[in-house]
Structure 1
Amino acid sequence: MNFLQDLRFAIRSLRARAGTAGFAVLTLTAGMASAIAIFCVIDAVLLRALPYPQADRLVQIRELADNGHSMALAMPNYADLAASVDAFDAIAFHNAYPDTIRSGDTTIRATVGTSGGDFFRALGQAPQLGRVFAANEHEPVAVIGYGLWQNLLQGRADVLGQPLDIGSKRYTIIGVMPASFAFPERTVAWLPMLEPDGNSRTSHNWEALGRLRANADLDQTRLAANALATRLKARFGKDIDAVAFGLTPLGDAIAAPVRSALLLLAAGTAFLLLIAITNTTNLLLALNGSRTRELAVRAALGASAARLARQVLLESLLITAIATTLALGVAYAAVHLLVRLAGDSLPRADEVQLSVGIVALSVSAALAIALVATAAVLWSNRKQNPIGELRESGRGQSPSRSHLRTRALLLAGQTALTTVLLIGAGLLGRSFLALLDVDPGFDAEGAVSVQVSQPWTRDTAAAAATTRRYDELMSTFAQLPGVGAVGGVSSLPLTGGADGAFWDGSVTSLGQSPPPPIGYAQFRVASADYFRAVGIPLLRGRSFDSSDRADGAPVAVISADAARAAWGERDPIGQRIQVGNMDGDMRAVTIVGVVGDVRERSLDRAPMGAVYVDLDQRPVVAAEFNIVVRSTLPIATLMPTLRGTLERLATGIPYSLRPLADVRAAALADRRFSLILLGAFASVAFVLAIGGLYGLMAFAVGQRQHEFALRQALGSSRSRIARLVLGGGLRIGAGGVALGLVAAWFGARAARSQLYGVPASDPWTLIGVSALLLVTLLLACLLPARRACAVAPRDALS
């Protein structure tokens, strides 16, 4: 009965102070919603085990160069590893690439995987229908994903044995995987390797994974793999560029690209949640501080300390219950927004969800928050004497100095956390601006990328026919009004080979005997006018031109970085190199030009050496080809013209258009995502800190009206009273800012991997954030200070 009475009283109490209670609810909702949403992402990407049996035994395998550079595996090295290291229960190689898939009259573009070894057994996956291909299968068979079966093939019951055209070949469907399986991500069909990949040990074309035996130790397996790498290096010398094998738990490897960013966001979310809890506790202190006389009366009339504590707890529980309900709804929507904002850069995005376990954890956290807030209120009331409180409040003096001290300490902590968040957002913002100033090596303005798709093939005749179609398209584009240059390449800068061309490897010089490798490089197939179209400067020699015929002497253009690595300051023009380990064409090529370096993978990674070969001499075999059209026309005018041309001339060829500037923008997507979220957290924290200080000072002024009236009666000027109020607020703010600067100094070093071009202790960011906070906090105290000065001694003392 007493509980129900206390509950009704708590509801009436909060309703009577709806403004303060509502602000507490909104504060806690913002903090909890962001924490829940980010935790959903972290749980799926970093914490949850991969959806495979005994996933902790799965490891990613890569080669390591002597400078620590991580590379995909060359096939002979994979074969030696599979034969020599017996710690693996199963080992497999794979890669994934976009390709065309046709069934009847329907053609789609999707991710296809080629794999070998014990691919499906390593992942512990069995088909839902039919079978998977064997480790040594060399027939044109295909295992398809559940989604492809249901959508393209309409879920046909007789799907097994049906033909399916993938790329330039026809495959027979032998199995269907369950709906939960798609590895690598977004792969919809898996094919066996039908053609040998060659015997080059510097052609890094394959990812690899292994399942450790039940009793195998990862560290011991690394030692065995690296011992093999040492033996291979001793045996093959310069014909192999790997000096070790890198073995990483598969879950860690998948999460690695986003781990630092997610941990940074997790820290930001934790700070925001702490700020929300602090602010809620402060508001509860304000609610109870304004009721000092009421609580004193209840205590004097016989209410026990436990009864009063229960009253405070019920008010805290009501606020946190409402906030948690709202936060779960907001978080549900925020999770979907986060997944969309992250785009393809977020691994395991399809596993991100607001699960029952996270809801239960959120409710538990809400209960803990209510208990912490209640404890803080009770602690501030621990020394209060009901009779003394009634006597003091009867004289109009402040009955709750302990409340003020506790609230001041909480506000200083809140300001410190806000300082850390603002500094983090400031450093990310300056890093983002620094990246915007990075020269990617090409001119993205005034150009459009036309990505066209053709079946992946290694057949020379088919590749030559595809190349002729590309040449025809480029010739037509070049004749359009306003077009200044048109050229094509197998992979655009800043995509890291993500658009279909995944070749890279060691370039070998033919000027010595035996021919030594001259460095690791990206491999690109480019057309005659590509460099002018994309805006890569020609530094020496010439580009490809009409004299470079298919039956002529093979030529190449290399980047400045590749030239420096091989020949230093000497002129590389006329040097002959071998790049056949990358595309299978073993003809030597002669260097005819040197072009500027471009950033192939990202803006924050240094340019890599690159070798470009002529499209007509070495027809592209990648599934994607990128035509760049540079024009003096506005992009909005050029794109419809290009689309119309493609509809007329490229019937049946899948294509996509985007401004070349979007390629650069996409390279900043990950950092933009982190900056937007951390900036949002910092903005909310900033508003809460300002509102908290204003509320505290307004409350303090209201409680100290009698004191201020006495001071004026005894001769204090209004300016002195204003300085007293402003000084009190500024001391709280300055203490919080100073504490925040110390915390940020340590925290920024932990987040150094997310910074570019800005030191972790950037003085301009630290000074700017400190000045912004202190000035704004001082402004928040102005109105309470004016109210303190406006107190009339006669009215306050009457």
Structure 2
Amino acid sequence: MSLFRNFATGLRSLFRKNQVDRELDEELGAYLEMEAAEKIRQGVSRKDALREVRLERGSLEVTKEIVRSGGWEFFVETCWRDLRYGVRMLCKKPGFTIIAAVTLALGIGANTAIFSVIDRVLLQPLPYPHPEELVAVWHTAPGLNIKDLSSSDSCYFIYREQSRTFQDIGLYRNDSVNITGMAEPERVSALDVTDGVLPILGLRATLGRTFTRADDSPGSAKSVMLSFGFWQRKFGGDRSVIGKTITVDGELRQVIGVLPRDFHFGGRDIAMLLPLQLDRAYTFLGNFSYESVARLKPGVTLAQANADVARMLPIVQKSFPMPVGLNPKTLEDARIGPNLRTLKQEVVGDMDKVLWVLMGGVGFVLLIACANVGNLLLVRAEGRQRELAIRAALGASKGRIAASLLLESFLLALLGSALGLSLAYGALRVLVATAPAGLPRINEIAINGPAVLFTLVLSLFVSLLFGCVPAFKYAAVPQLTALRESGRSMSESRHRHRARSALVVSQVALALVLLVSAGLMIRTFRALIEVDPGFVMPSDIQTFRVDIPYTQVKEPERVMRIEEEILHKIEAVPGVSSVSLSMSVPLDGNQTTGPAFEKDRTYSQGELPLHRFRFVAPGFFKTLGTPLVAGRDLTWSDIYNKVPVAIVSERMAREYWHDPASALGKQIRVSPKDDWREIVGVVGDVRDDGVDKEAPSSVYWPILTSEFEGNELDVIRSVAFCMRASRAGSASLMEDVQKAVWSVDSDLPIADAHTLEYYYSKSMARTSFTLTMLGVAGGMALLLGVVGLYGAIAYSVSTRTHEIGIRVALGAEPEDVLKMVVRGGFKLAGFGVGIGIAAALVSTRYLATLLYGIKPTDPLTFATVALLLIGVALLASYIPARRATKVDPMVALRYE
């Protein structure tokens, strides 16, 4: 009750101040009367009694202040008065306030924007129930030098039946399907899933139901779940869609449900889900071509789950037969083991390194902005020394003065935060628009509650950071010293100069760290551009995919004829100079790996020489501009006569036969049941995995060929067409191409229409994104650092006008004055560069994984940035130095 009474009394004092003051006057007056009455009884006159009581008790106003200061409301009143005074002081100097607020807004806005990304991508849990229980089930095969090996159907069946740590496990696989019978045919992204995937994620259907085990059983009726967007786009949100059928890859499938609006999984825009319907009776070992998600039992750790998977792997190998042609020793030597990771780690990937680097970069920008504003506040506080001394003389304590100065800093920070939030909103839109494709959860990024709270906390932090130096420096200056130094002195005192110099040095040092980081990324980007990717002029190469499902066309040779006919139709499109097709195009992510054994080489039991496989048609290398190093290209005669031939990459030729020409005539095959295939050509290396990755050792097979495990024909049904065209990337070209495809088969849509430049740029997206962001941060740092140095030198010159006038009057030449001022700026820049180089040597180590072709301690980058900063610093010093040389000694002395 006493606490409540104290609170209520404080509120009454705040909101009924006049009444409380009257009551206090009456109470103190009553005490005076009581003591005066006692003296009157002792024979003292009333007039003398009142005078004696007042002398004994002291001033009533002091007593009132003592009484008022005893409650919490006094602190509130003090803060309110200081707040109003701070607002008045900031409004009194609008120029200073605007410059300081905008400077802070740049730093705070950049930090808020990057934090919004980090909060959503790295800090916030995934939008599923109990996300900490979700894991991605991966494996590792050190014997094959494979760090991340996906899951297989054989593993899935055993893990689901015998796991001691999983509540459930599900498999899924990215897919693309043809939708026909609904206006124009369309190719859309799909996800093939087992029945457990959605329940594991805790997702329910917005409409209808999810898959059951019956739906996922082999031979069950064909069903499909639609995404919310596809349902709205194709059916207008019609709720009677449940039970209707749509044609998917030539098969009728019944719609059983609609996914939630916010369903995002696997980093793709999914249009529909299809049941995998895996058949255990036809399951073999191997086939690690699925991704897998599982939910751990409560309390189970990742280490326990890994141990459980390690226990089950031998059971998997005993439970299923080996595929035809695969040596059991191969699986044994692969040493397959568990490599589980949290689903959040799976989603985030390696983007956390980029984001934390960017957060550090914009953090440096904020520190530089704080140093800049700190310098402005120091200058402003020096001009207010007389005012602060008078306040101290009138009774204000050092703490009270320091608190009022800090409160002004906090008001500046709040104003900067408000402007920064506006800047962050715009910066975030730009950041999301330019973000690399691999940035996860990009649709969820926004300025939200945590971002606003972060901004408020940041404003408090920066107000203390840039406000504490002037607050404590000038609150503690003795009154007489302050009054004496507030006048113009002969020269600027050393202790007044030291704090500003330290702030300028810190700005230069932080700017150097950021510029070195940006410079390293520039050198990385340049090194990547200079890499030969294995093709030329990618902006002139248009690619797109066509899929011919088995349900639409069964015969492999007929599929090949359709694909060839489409190719010839495209050749007739205006502007197309060459065209070919393959299983995939470089850098598109649809790569396949397999074994290739040389005829005259001896292999140990279980050895598996893995190479990159690509099935291609004649003219593929000519269209890409990949050089033919030796031999010849494939021909249509090779294709239709089933000639057992192959083409290999230059890297494979050199690894096996030391010279490309020596590879010609050599024979390779995939398995003991495969035909020997003669190498008829060697082509240049192509960087399939990214410009920053080494080109893999590759084998190119004819696109229509006999199966590697038998003599039946096999064909690639999902093919990528590549055409070199003057109109590449234009909508008109793709309209003509679509008409050409439909002239062959009106049920075939085209998909993934991109230039090769798109995939090329995408492979460098992380580097270019990091470069852009660090470049912007470095530019801001350089600008703020130069402005800070210029301001410090200019202010120093203005305070030394009298001294400079005397020097000139005593015979100093303008060049002497110029050298003196520039020397001061050079010393500050030199100290900053020295400290910055030391800091950069430490901080750039965290960029190592983002660099290519250079080391984090690259001497050329460090030297270039150091010279740039010193040059800019000299220029910033030269301008006020020139002004100093024009000082008229008579005017300066008379002014003093």
Give the structure-2-normalised TM-score.
0.81
- Pick which of 536-545 and 548-557 moved more: 548-557
Shift in CA distance, 670/14, structure 1 to aligned 2, threshold 3 Å:
same
Query: Distance in 2 between the 1:704 and 1:641 partners?
Result: 70
1:754 aligns to what?
850
Residue 177 (structure 1) aligned with residue 266 (structure 2): no
SS in 2 for 1:345: coil
Query: Distance in 2 between the 1:637 and 1:712 partners?
Result: 69
Q: In structure 2, give the amino acid aligned to 1:119.
A: V
Shift in CA distance, 233/588, structure 1 to aligned 2, threshold 3 Å:
farther
Residue 449 (structure 1) aligned with residue 538 (structure 2): no
Structure 1 residues without counterparts, runs of 5 or longer: none
8 Å CA contact 1:203, 1:505 repeated in 2:
no
* 1:306-385 superposed matches below 5 A: 306-385=399-478
Residue 529 (structure 1) aligned with residue 607 (structure 2): no
8 Å CA contact 1:488, 1:526 repeated in 2:
yes
- How large is the Cα RMSD of the aligned pairs? 3.2
- Pick which of 329-338 and 536-545 moved more: 536-545
* 1:166-315 superposed matches below 5 A: 166-185=248-267, 186-194=269-277, 201-226=285-310, 236-239=328-331, 241=334, 243-315=336-408
- Pick which of 249-258 and 96-105 moved more: 96-105
1:137 aligns to what?
217
- Pick which of 390-399 and 538-547 moved more: 390-399
State the Cα distance separating 1:63 from its structure 2 match.
2.9
8 Å CA contact 1:420, 1:743 repeated in 2:
yes
SS in 1 for 2:435: helix
Query: Distance in 1 between the 2:676 and 2:158 partners?
Result: 28
8 Å CA contact 2:179, 2:249 repeated in 1:
yes
1:47 aligns to what?
123
2:663 aligns to what?
571
8 Å CA contact 1:509, 1:518 repeated in 2:
no
The C-alpha deviation readout for 1:510-544, integer Å capped at 9, x for no partner, is: 77799855433333221111111112223344332
1:608 aligns to what?
696
Shift in CA distance, 678/315, structure 1 to aligned 2, threshold 3 Å:
same
SS in 2 for 1:260: helix
Residue 707 (structure 1) aligned with residue 789 (structure 2): no
Query: Distance in 1 between the 2:444 and 2:717 partners?
Result: 31
State the Cα distance separating 1:726 from its structure 2 match.
1.9
Q: In structure 2, give the amino acid aligned to 1:601.
A: D
State the Cα distance separating 1:114 from its structure 2 match.
0.8
The C-alpha deviation readout for 1:403-428, integer Å capped at 9, x for no partner, is: 43212112211211111000000000
8 Å CA contact 2:525, 2:767 repeated in 1:
yes
State the Cα distance separating 1:484 from its structure 2 match.
4.4
User: Identity of paired residues, percent?
Assistant: 29
Shift in CA distance, 538/134, structure 1 to aligned 2, threshold 3 Å:
farther
Q: In structure 2, give the amino acid aligned to 1:193.
A: L
Shift in CA distance, 259/463, structure 1 to aligned 2, threshold 3 Å:
farther
State the Cα distance separating 1:37 from its structure 2 match.
0.8
8 Å CA contact 1:204, 1:504 repeated in 2:
no
State the Cα distance separating 1:116 from its structure 2 match.
2.2
Query: Distance in 1 between the 2:775 and 2:578 partners?
Result: 41
1:559 aligns to what?
649
1:69 to 143, 147, 157: 147
8 Å CA contact 2:631, 2:664 repeated in 1:
no
SS in 1 for 2:241: coil
Structure 2 residues without counterparts, runs of 5 or longer: 1-76, 319-326, 706-712
8 Å CA contact 1:556, 1:590 repeated in 2:
yes
SS in 2 for 1:461: coil
1:148 to 221, 230, 245: 230
The C-alpha deviation readout for 1:681-703, integer Å capped at 9, x for no partner, is: 00001000000001011111112
State the Cα distance separating 1:56 from its structure 2 match.
1.4
1:159 to 241, 246, 250: 241
Q: In structure 1, give the amino acid aligned to 2:736.
A: G
Query: Distance in 2 between the 1:117 and 1:448 partners?
Result: 41
1:629 aligns to what?
723
* 1:15-164 superposed matches below 5 A: 15-66=91-142, 67-83=145-161, 85-102=163-180, 104-105=182-183, 107-116=185-194, 118-135=196-213, 136-138=216-218, 139=220, 140-164=222-246
Q: In structure 2, give the amino acid aligned to 1:216.
A: V
1:597 to 685, 696, 701: 685
User: How many aligned residue pairs are there?
Assistant: 787
The C-alpha deviation readout for 1:447-470, integer Å capped at 9, x for no partner, is: 322303335548761665544332
Q: In structure 1, give the amino acid aligned to 2:245.
A: P
Residue 741 (structure 1) aligned with residue 837 (structure 2): yes
State the Cα distance separating 1:635 from its structure 2 match.
4.2
* 1:309-708 superposed matches below 5 A: 309-397=402-490, 402-445=495-538, 447-454=540-547, 456-457=549-550, 461=554, 464-479=557-572, 483-497=576-590, 503-507=592-596, 518-550=608-640, 552-563=642-653, 571=663, 573-578=665-670, 590-617=678-705, 620-621=715-716, 623=718, 625-630=719-724, 634-635=726-727, 640=732, 643-650=735-742, 653-655=749-751, 657-708=753-804
2:10 aligns to what?
none
8 Å CA contact 1:411, 1:692 repeated in 2:
yes
SS in 2 for 1:269: helix
Query: Distance in 1 between the 2:539 and 2:515 partners?
Result: 36
- Pick which of 474-483 and 42-51 moved more: 474-483
Shift in CA distance, 555/171, structure 1 to aligned 2, threshold 3 Å:
farther
8 Å CA contact 1:506, 1:518 repeated in 2:
yes
8 Å CA contact 2:159, 2:169 repeated in 1:
no
8 Å CA contact 1:143, 1:175 repeated in 2:
yes
Give the structure-1-normalised TM-score.
0.90
State the Cα distance separating 1:364 from its structure 2 match.
1.9
